[in-house]
Structure 1
């Protein structure tokens, strides 16, 4: 019988291989998976063969390239559908996207990143590759700033480190600026981000609370700067219309109430 340590190591390596397949191109060579996973080619090949037998990966019969199998879909779907924030938000989030014509997301914090649970696109929202399971930086998004409002300044610095990555010239890269943004979230109940993560785009977000009053997630409305703010690009002082802000906050409140918050 293999030792407990050996068994754990095998599980860890298998998970690393699955995550390597989830990154980058949809189909990958064994050598590419091995390089991403930091494993030897022979070890990676054996792990892929085992995962293929378990219907978690599949190999193209022509190219011999590997990809994640649809056998992973039921596992991901069950995890997502059983998450309380996803259950409470899906219907009202879709209504928000439809009524505003913009994109609507909901996310939770996973370590030093946020993870999207679902995304809906309104008629005025540009097509996006944001999907359930995708991650994004906390400091460069309105939804991330709402999630960070659950932490103290010391906790944020310990979580994110001293260097905050700049995604555009408008990204908040200092903790003093991030502290100010989080304070504004706590004061007003919402956050606004303009071109911090992607040029030409803006987002408006509000936190979602659980029955204990803790920040359990956050939802956001996003789209072109002109559509969300009603102003051309370059107006740093622009803010979303009051009615749109109220709609986002009320939607977040509806999700919070569904989760037992008062």
Structure 2
């Protein structure tokens, strides 16, 4: 039993060391890892040396700084390729991004956040970083709104207490009353929009993806700079495209619509 506890502790410590590299600091000194984890210097150095030998981290020969290694890329690639939503969505999302010239993203819910499974960039919506693997707030994104449709009002309040509905811009929905009203509208029309709710100058349209049982298991969005997405003139076009994409992915997952009917189609959009 003592041996098992020691092994578990070692795994937890190694995981905490790797977790430090996920906080936006790609290269770290040993002292940085010590400060972030609270582990001793000798323990941290030993863990980093072991992780380096396994290629989970690598150390720059000149600076001595550590960064994530190739083994983490391999694990991430295998994990995402094995995900059923990723398998169904990847080619469709890539083709849609190329056709529209905008970003196309697919995400699932992980706890209180959305988790990006994949993203492709069109020529009109380039990004300097890859979104895959990143987490974003549910209440401030079109993807998140679609994922929240799978929960009732009471469940949403339990998952996201109102004090956690942080405002990122003046447009962010920071109360459950406003969020409930927005989600009622999303449910009615079959897609969500987001205009500068998470970041200035960005907007998107998104639609939910359902599994064989009808449960909302993911969401897909079309996104880009505010002027390029241009929802004031393109909302109907983009809403139809994202709903059709979500329905295609849902069909691939085995969804055949309520009571065995075909998946829903877009009935109408706002002017």
Distance in 2 of aligned mates of 1:77 and 1:108: 17
- Cα pair distance change 1:240/1:152, threshold 3 Å: farther
1:241 maps onto 2:263 in alignment: no
Distance in 2 of aligned mates of 1:141 and 1:17: 30
**Contact conserved, 2:222 with 2:238, CA < 8 A, in 1?**
no
Listed as ranges, the matches of 1:1-262 within 5 Å are 2-163=2-163, 164-230=165-231, 238=232, 240-262=234-256
**Contact conserved, 2:162 with 2:174, CA < 8 A, in 1?**
no
Aligned residues: 255
Tell me by how many angstroms 1:214 deviates. 0.4
**Contact conserved, 1:126 with 1:224, CA < 8 A, in 2?**
no
Q: Which residue of 1 aligns with 2:264?
A: none
Superposed CA RMSD: 1.5
Tell me by how many angstroms 1:142 deviates. 0.3
- Cα pair distance change 1:38/1:135, threshold 3 Å: same
Tell me by how many angstroms 1:131 deviates. 2.2
Distance in 1 of aligned mates of 2:167 and 2:216: 26
Distance in 2 of aligned mates of 1:139 and 1:239: 25
Tell me by how many angstroms 1:74 deviates. 1.4
Tell me by how many angstroms 1:246 deviates. 0.8
Distance in 2 of aligned mates of 1:128 and 1:208: 27
Tell me by how many angstroms 1:240 deviates. 4.2
**Contact conserved, 1:22 with 1:68, CA < 8 A, in 2?**
no
Q: Which runs of 5+ in 1 are unaligned?
A: 231-237
Distance in 2 of aligned mates of 1:170 and 1:130: 25
Secondary structure at the residue paired with 1:211? coil
TM, length-normalised to structure 1: 0.93
**Contact conserved, 2:119 with 2:132, CA < 8 A, in 1?**
yes
Residue by residue, what CA displacement relative to the aligned partner does 1:153-173 show, whole Å, maximum 9, x if unpaired?
111111122211111111111
Residue by residue, what CA displacement relative to the aligned partner does 1:119-143 show, whole Å, maximum 9, x if unpaired?
1111111424242101111110000
Q: Which residue of 1 aligns with 2:265?
A: none
Distance in 1 of aligned mates of 2:83 and 2:27: 29
TM, length-normalised to structure 2: 0.90
More displaced, 207-216 or 120-129? 120-129
Which runs of 4 or more aligned residues in structure 1 lie more than 4 Å from their structure 2 counterparts after TM superposition? none
Distance in 2 of aligned mates of 1:179 and 1:47: 47
Distance in 2 of aligned mates of 1:161 and 1:7: 36
Q: Which runs of 5+ in 2 are unaligned?
A: 257-271
Secondary structure at the residue paired with 1:3? helix
Tell me by how many angstroms 1:96 deviates. 1.2
